[in-house]
Amino acid sequence: MNNTVRQRILLSRDIQMDDFNSIETISIERYVSTGGYKALDKALKELKPEGVIKEVKSSGLRGRGGAGFPTWRKWEFVAGAAGDEKYLCCNAAEGEQGTFKDRCLIRSNPHQLIEGIIIASYAVGARKSYLYITESYSKEITVLEKALQEAKEKRYIGEKILGTDFSLDICIRKCPNKYVAGEETAMMEVIEGRAAKPWQKPPHYPANRGLYGKPTIVNNTGTLSNIPHIVLKGGEWFSKIGSPKSPGNMLFTLTGDINRPGVYELPLGITLKELINNCGNGLKNGRGFKAAFLPGNPPLTESQIDVPLDFDSLKEIGSGLGCAAVIVLGDRTCVVDTTLGFSRFRMEESCGQCPPCQMGTAKMARLLQKIEDGQGEMDDLVNIENTCSSSKGQGYCHLLSGAAFIVEGAVRHFRKEFEAHIHERKCPLRSSAGNSL
C-alpha cells in the first residue's frame, strides 16, 4: 500500500513561483544546530563505506535526475571498482523544460547537498568531487561557493575530515546553459575542458570509465540531498515514505495553466489530480484539464489523472516521471502548439553530432509548424508518426528519443485536435483575432 502522507525531508516549505526570489538560504550555523553534519559523523565513524551503501540500499532510493536507477547499485559498482582514483559528480545542470527544483534545493539548503556529496564520496571511495552547475545559475553558484568555504572552515571538507583518514576536495564546475550539457557523459567532456557532446554508449559509461578514464559516480542534486537524512534516520525509515518501489519524496515542478505554479515536495505515488488540486489550487480561470506534459515522455490525459506519479506506475502506462516537471494544459490550450514548443526546443538543443537527431528533430518541428499554421495535410501526420518511430532509440543520448516520445504520444492521445487543425486550416482554439479562446 502506498504511504502518501506528506512529510517534508528536503525543503522546509513549498516554493511557489512568485516566492522564488524570497528563498532564504539556511546558514551553516542553523544547519548544524538542527542536526546538520551529524550524518557525516555517523557515516565516517560508525557505518563505514559498506554500512552507508547498506543503508542506501535498504532505503530503496532511486535517482532523482530522470532514469530512476537504484542509487546503491551505482555506488556499489564504483566502490568495488579497482584503483584508488575515483570521482563523484553532482549534476546540477538543470536543462529540462519546466523544471527548477535543483535551484530551489541549492538556494534553500546548500549544506544538505554538500553533506550528501561528502557522504557519497566517502561511500564510493572518491577523493575529489565536482559540483556541476549551469553557468546561468549565478545566484546558486554564489550560494554554493559560500557554503563550500564554510564547510572547509569547519573541516567538513579537506584533509582528515572529522579526524578520520578520509580527505575530500569539492570543486564547482560551470557548464553551458544547454540541455545536452546535463547528459552525464557530456558532463565528463565539459569537466575535462571540452565541448558538451555525449558519448556513444556502450562501450564506456562513467561508472566504469568516467572522468580522466576513472570510475565516476554521477548523481543528481535531489538524490544527494536525500543522503544525510537516510544515513541519520536509517534506510528503513525512508523506505516507508512514498510508493513501495519508488520510496521517498520527489520535488515536483508544477507549471502551465495552474493557479499556483511552484516546486512541491510530495511523496512519490501521489496522483496528478492531487498535485494539481491540492498544491496547484486547480487550473486557471476554472478551466478543465486537458493534458500534462512530463518532458521526454508521452503526455498524460484526463483518463490518467489518477495514476500514481512514480517511476513504475508511469512506465506501466507507457509514460515516465523524468525529473518530475509537470506542465499542465487546460482545455483551451492548443496541444499542437504546445507539442511544437517541445519539439522546437529539442531541435535547437541538439548538439548535432548524430545525423538522425539533427534531421529527425528538424523534421518533427517543421511538420508540426506546418500543421499549427493551418498548412498541414493528413500525410503530414503519417510522416510525423513514421519519423517518431524511426527516431526512438537513435542517437548517443536521450534527446532525440525524448522528442519522439513527446510528439508521438501527443499525436496518439490528441489525434482529433491535430486533424481539426488540418481540416479547418487553422488552430480551432484560436479566435479570428489570433488569440487563444
The single residue among 188, 329, 357, 368 that binds ligand SF4, judged by CB under 6 A, is: 357
Shortest Cβ contact with ligand SF4: which residue?
A: 395
Contact status: 354 vs ligand SF4 (CB under 6 A): yes
Cβ 338 to ligand SF4 shortest distance, Å: 21
Gap between the Cα atoms of 409 and 362, Å rounded:
18
Gap between the Cα atoms of 355 and 297, Å rounded:
22
The single residue among 43, 118, 231, 351 that binds ligand SF4, judged by CB under 6 A, is: 351
Gap between the Cα atoms of 89 and 273, Å rounded:
35
Spatial strand order of the sheet with 216-220 comes to 169-175, 128-134, 87-92, 216-220
Residue among 238 and 405 whose Cβ is closer to ligand SF4? 405
Cβ 348 to ligand SF4 shortest distance, Å: 11
Contact status: 352 vs ligand SF4 (CB under 6 A): yes
Contact status: 226 vs ligand SF4 (CB under 6 A): no
Binding mask 165-204 for ligand SF4 (x = CB under 6 A): ---------------x-----------------x------
Closest CA to 265 of 1, 15, 3, 70: 15
Gap between the Cα atoms of 121 and 115, Å rounded:
10
Binding mask 112-151 for ligand SF4 (x = CB under 6 A): ----------------------------------------
Contact status: 399 vs ligand SF4 (CB under 6 A): yes
How many residues make contact with ligand SF4 (CB under 6 A)?
A: 13
Closest CA to 104 of 218, 14, 176: 14
Cβ 360 to ligand SF4 shortest distance, Å: 9
Measured over the CA atoms of residue 35, residue 128, residue 140 and residue 344, the dihedral's sign is negative
Cβ 132 to ligand SF4 shortest distance, Å: 18
Contact status: 35 vs ligand SF4 (CB under 6 A): no
Binding interface with ligand SF4 (CB under 6 A): 180, 198, 350-354, 357, 395-397, 399-400
